[in-house]
Amino acid sequence: MTAPVRPAQDMAALADAALILRSGGLVAMPTETVYGLAADAGNARAVARLYAAKGRPRFNPLIAHVADIETAERCGVFCDLSRRLAAAFWPGPLTLVLPRRTDAPVSDLATAGLDTVALRIPDHPAARALLAAFGGPLAAPSANPSGAVSPTTAQHVAEGLGDKIDLILDAGPCRVGVESTVVAIMDGKAVLLRPGGLPRAEIEAITGPLAAAGETAAPAAPGMLKSHYAPRAPLRLNALEPGAGEAYLGFGPGALEGALNLSPGADLAEAAANLFAYLRHLDAGAPRAIAVAPVPEAGLGEAINDRLRRAAAREDA
Ligand code: AMP
Ligand code: MG
């Protein structure tokens, strides 16, 4: 049986979604970044179902989504710096990895047994309404089979996971289009674990230069599999034109005429919002490879290039 798709604005659908979550079920919820697959973060059986539905390696910890700062403070230990980041960017596409409170209402399975917890207040009316109706943290990784391209529409969710979950809430395409930026606060210092929908420069305006994940965070950010965002076709990056049998994904005004273009006006926010849907679209044509135009590394370009490099790496873990 395939999961019903219901409008996220429908109050009855939201109430049903909260009931499903309370009884350990799985609901796909729209957020401003990508569609998340939500489960009760405090219910280890529900979280186990979530890992199974995604086919996700168990060592990969999940982000706990919360409705408000009060719930976040019940899960993680905030310091002055994390409080300032939360005040500046929540609700929004920033995930904070903080020391886990021993009495956090989050199962060990959701945090993969780590003594840290990843927290975010999403900036989407449907996600916030669902979190408020549910009344606790929801574990919600992207709503796609593990290793596949993240979903930015309800249709993408239905294609990948429709037969494995209980309900899909539809609020149209996601505004941001790439996952949240993940920042760990360790000993009062901010470390960038994953570039994402909140550009580095906005965070650094508050934290100063972010430390890189490489040096400190290898054990702290498990599950950053290289192949995490891969379409089936191989990717060729920084391609100025397609080769024989290749599909082309352009960027900016100079790109190949007639080819799909992430943003003809070279707008990185538009490119991020289109990225996953366009990769899916080209992949569906089963090309020999997808050749992708160079994308500048500035602002949201850091997250776009990170996802493209992971997709190109195709390393299975
Ligand atoms: P996703 O849910 O697919 O958006 O991925 C969540 C990201 O957050 C992954 O890269 C995880 O490795 C990272 N993450 C989640 N929880 C933690 C944690 N406690 N410590 C470090 N990284 C985390
Ligand atoms: Mg994902």
Q: Compute the distance from residue 140 Cα to the ligand 2 centre, in Å.
A: 10
Taking each helix axis as running N to C, give the angle between helix 11-22 and helix 125-134, from 0 to 180 degrees, rounded to the nearest 10.
50
Q: What is the pLDDT of residue 217?
A: 44
pLDDT in tens, 113-122: 889 999 999 9
- pLDDT of 317 > 50? The answer is no
Q: Please give the C-alpha separations between residue 279 and each of 129, 276, 296, in angstroms, as whole numbers.
A: 30, 5, 18
Residues, CB-to-ion distance under 5 Å, ligand 2 = 142, 150
Mean residue pLDDT across the chain: 92
b/e burial code for range 177-201 (CB count within 10 A of at least 16 → b): bbbbbbbbbeeeebbbbbbbbbbbe
For residue 316, what pLDDT is reported? 34
Domain 5-212: homologous superfamily in CATH: DHBP synthase (3.90.870.10)
Q: Model confidence over 207-239: pLDDT tens digits?
A: 999 998 765 544 445 445 455 567 889 999 999
Q: From the CB of 37, is ligand 1 less than 6 Å away?
A: no
In the chain, % of residues over pLDDT 90 = 81
**What is the number of H-type helices and E-type strands within the chain?**
10, 15
Q: How far is the CA of 229 from the centre of ligand 2 (A)?
A: 7
Q: Residue 42: is its pLDDT beyond 90?
A: yes
Q: Which CATH class is domain 235-312?
A: alpha beta
Q: What is the pLDDT of residue 219?
A: 43
Both tokens of 44, joined, read 């280890």
The predicted pLDDT at position 222 comes to 47
Point out the ligand 1 atom lying closest to the alpha carbon of residue 194: 10
User: Taking residues 239-244, what's their average pLDDT?
Assistant: 96
117 touches ligand 1 (CB under 6 Å): yes
Span(s) in the chain for CATH 3.90.870.10: 5-212
Range 231-254 average pLDDT: 95
Predicted confidence (pLDDT) per residue in 176-188, tens digit: 999 999 999 988 8
Q: Is the CB of 62 under 6 A from ligand 1?
A: yes
Q: Please, where in the chain does CATH 3.40.50.11030 lie?
A: 235-312
User: What is the mean predicted confidence (pLDDT) over 78-82?
Assistant: 97
- Tell which wins on pLDDT, 1 or 208: 208
Predicted local confidence at residue 112, as pLDDT: 83
- Residue 155, classed as helix, strand or coil, is helix
